[in-house]
Structure 1
Amino acid sequence: MSVIATEELTKRYPRVTALDQLTVDVPEGVTGLVGANGAGKSTLIKILLGLSPATEGKARVLGLDVATEGATIRERVGYMPEHDCLPPDVSATEFVMHMARMSGLPSTAARERTADTLRHVGLYEERYRPIGGYSTGMKQRVKLAQALVHDPRLVLLDEPTNGLDPVGRDEMLDLIRRIHTDFGISVFVTSHLLGELERTCDHVVVVDGGKLLRAQATKEFTRTTGVFTVEVDTNADGSDGTDDAQTALVGAGLPVERDGRLLHVSVADETGYDTIRDTIDGLGVGLVRLQQRRHRIAEVFLGEQSQAPQTEKETADA
């Protein structure tokens, strides 16, 4: 079942088209929407929530029409906005409980759900502190908590890792993944960082300039290639064995590209694996890694951009 479905969805402003005939189905699970800043991600979120009308086309969320059933959609989904919107003078408990009550939960249920949700996002020990004293990472967790507190079927997360350091980003991505694995809630998350979605999402939707470039399962994006990554140990005399390995592999008729201590070796068929292994074994140097490469989403995304037809303006400029 699709949790989100759009059909030729278009949003035009006086000087720009934010979405251009976007047709996509988003299945249950964790789906990432990726695109550069200005690609139309936040505009799509606002339309899906019924907060901004589309110029043309249709969209449904959980089977509900965004044009006529926006209020019902907002009751059944959670939303984590990109911008900082938290009141500084109240505690996380007060704010999340207020949002739970706004979603229709009775007082006792709202209190219990608030405690459970803040524990889940890692803020239970800090729940009574004023939000104004929180770090950026803690504020992001409060925003995530208020999106989850009413137990929605779907959450929309707009750039949830913005402003986080690498450790905070990893922790947030782990939380996002657990929303679905632990609670069965589907997630639609936007990001301009391709690597985040590659490691977190089951499906990825790629947009550029409001147009759909591709929508696929992540495993289809990151399919295996005919390239093996080879890393070897140092020689017995302590010298780097990579030079010798590269020379031997080229001598065996295999195309090799070097990246520091890594050798990327292209093979035509399954026998190439045996050739690499036997060649390295013949050198008497330790084999640290022999791993088949997978496409990265960034490679596919850049490839799609390079193949996209030029606009009239781009053609004129060229």
Structure 2
Amino acid sequence: MRTSTILATEGLSRRFPRVTALDRLTVTVGPGVTGLVGANGAGKSTLIKILLGLLEPSEGRAQVLGMDSGSQGAEIRRAVGYMPEHDCLPPDVSATDFVVHMARMSGLPRTAARERAADTLRHVGLYEERYRPIGGYSTGMKQRVKLAQALVHDPKVVFLDEPTNGLDPQGRDDMLGLIRRIGSEFGISVLVTSHLLGELERVCDHVIVIDGGRLLRSSAISEFTQATQSVTVEVEEGPEALAARLAELGETVTPQGRALAVLVRGPETYDAVRDAVCDLELSLIRLEQGRQRIEDVFRGSAADMTEPATAPGLAATTVRGDS
């Protein structure tokens, strides 16, 4: 395994009595922020538990930071931070005491643990509230405590399992901002799972898409969101009138919420958009190159796959090359 590899799986499967959670998954992940996307039940949490050495695979193997998850689980857990999806915080303990305890469990001396806990709680925005019992925290604050305990021992990589679960839009934005900072400012590699595709577009360098435990695709985020042969047009009001006028001019228009996606036939399409907006005296808010979204790729891959475990190019995929 290359030193730049954060984790890798080879033919990894995990079968339960009535379901196969992972099906011959082979994938390699390098440094940076990597998203693991799939619907609930796709196998995301099962994969993380195997990587941490908390669950044995039915077949295949997995490595984290060059260590085998089957035989070196304790060593992996000392080097990795883990933010679980489920609620696991003691309600009668303060955030400071809990994060200090987790730092001590990771091997930090008492003084260093308290210093690191204070720094980490400040980083996640809980410094002023650090002495309050966790039971009185909001959902967003509890998620920040879980993130803090995953970071307190200065891990080389963190696994974040559905970190935005239960958060309102502002809380999701704040959490995504923290995740981006972990990768960009602190140099800690991140594997973050989510079933909300738009979130991963905002924070990840690379994305792995799995469905039913099978690999659909893994690529740089730029490859998922490549430019399409359309432009997105948004006006302050009157999109229906604009769509009708463009259709009269021979353009192909598809409504996308408040915006319109206009198929680009050539330079004349841009002229048609300009003329229609001016003729209707509309206020143009946005005119930009259309981009394919992860959701589109996910749907397309799912529709095309018949034998995903053995399909060429899907069995073994490198998420990030040597750097």
Report the TM-score when normalising by structure 1: 0.90
Q: RMSD between aligned alpha carbons?
A: 2.0
User: 2: CA distance between counterparts of 1:285 and 1:191?
Assistant: 38
Matched residue, 1:186: 189
Q: CA deviation at 1:262?
A: 3.1
Matched, 1:290 2:287: yes
Q: 1:150 aligns with which of 153, 157, 162?
A: 153
User: 2: CA distance between counterparts of 1:130 and 1:24?
Assistant: 41
For residues 20-65 of structure 1, give each alpha carbon's deviation from its aligned partner in whole angstroms, at most 9, with x where no partner exists: 0001111211111111111111100000001111111111111111
Q: 1:268 aligns with which of 265, 288, 301?
A: 265
Amino acid at match of 1:216: S
User: Counterpart of 1:246 in 2: which secondary structure?
Assistant: helix
Q: CA deviation at 1:252?
A: 3.5
Matched residue, 1:253: 250
User: Counterpart of 2:6 in 1: which secondary structure?
Assistant: strand
Q: CA deviation at 1:188?
A: 0.4
Q: CA deviation at 1:270?
A: 5.2
Matched residue, 2:60: 57
User: 2: CA distance between counterparts of 1:233 and 1:74?
Assistant: 52
- Structure 2 residues not aligned, in runs of 5+: 309-323
Q: 1:136 aligns with which of 124, 135, 139?
A: 139
Superposition pairs for residues 169-318 of structure 1, below 5 Å?
A: 169-232=172-235, 240=238, 242-243=240-241, 245-259=242-256, 262-269=259-266, 272-278=269-275, 280-281=277-278, 285-309=282-306
Q: Which of these two proteins has the greater Rg computed from alpha carbons?
A: 1
Q: 1:32 aligns with which of 30, 35, 41?
A: 35
User: 2: CA distance between counterparts of 1:8 and 1:113?
Assistant: 38
Matched residue, 2:49: 46
User: 2: CA distance between counterparts of 1:125 and 1:200?
Assistant: 27
For residues 90-137 of structure 1, give each alpha carbon's deviation from its aligned partner in whole angstroms, at most 9, with x where no partner exists: 111111001111111111111110100000011101111111111111
User: 1: CA distance between counterparts of 2:244 and 2:89?
Assistant: 60
Report the TM-score when normalising by structure 2: 0.88
Q: CA deviation at 1:309?
A: 2.4
Q: CA deviation at 1:279?
A: 5.2
Q: CA deviation at 1:142?
A: 0.7
User: Counterpart of 1:225 in 2: which secondary structure?
Assistant: strand
User: 1: CA distance between counterparts of 2:289 and 2:89?
Assistant: 46
Taking a change above 3 Å as real, the CA distance of residues 89 and 260 of structure 1, as seen in their structure-2 partners, is closer
Q: Which has the higher contact order (CA 8 A, sep 6+)?
A: 2
Amino acid at match of 2:169: P
Q: CA deviation at 1:283?
A: 5.8
Matched residue, 1:126: 129
User: 2: CA distance between counterparts of 1:152 and 1:144?
Assistant: 12
Equivalent residue pairs, number:
305
Amino acid at match of 2:149: Q
User: 2: CA distance between counterparts of 1:142 and 1:211?
Assistant: 32
Q: Percent identical across equivalent pairs?
A: 66
More divergent stretch after superposition (150-159 vs 223-232): 223-232
User: 1: CA distance between counterparts of 2:285 and 2:95?
Assistant: 48
Amino acid at match of 1:276: V
Q: Is the 8 A contact 2:120 2:148 kept in 1?
A: yes
Q: Is the 8 A contact 1:242 1:261 kept in 2?
A: no
Amino acid at match of 1:178: R
User: 2: CA distance between counterparts of 1:295 and 1:29?
Assistant: 22
For residues 143-165 of structure 1, give each alpha carbon's deviation from its aligned partner in whole angstroms, at most 9, with x where no partner exists: 11000000000000111111111
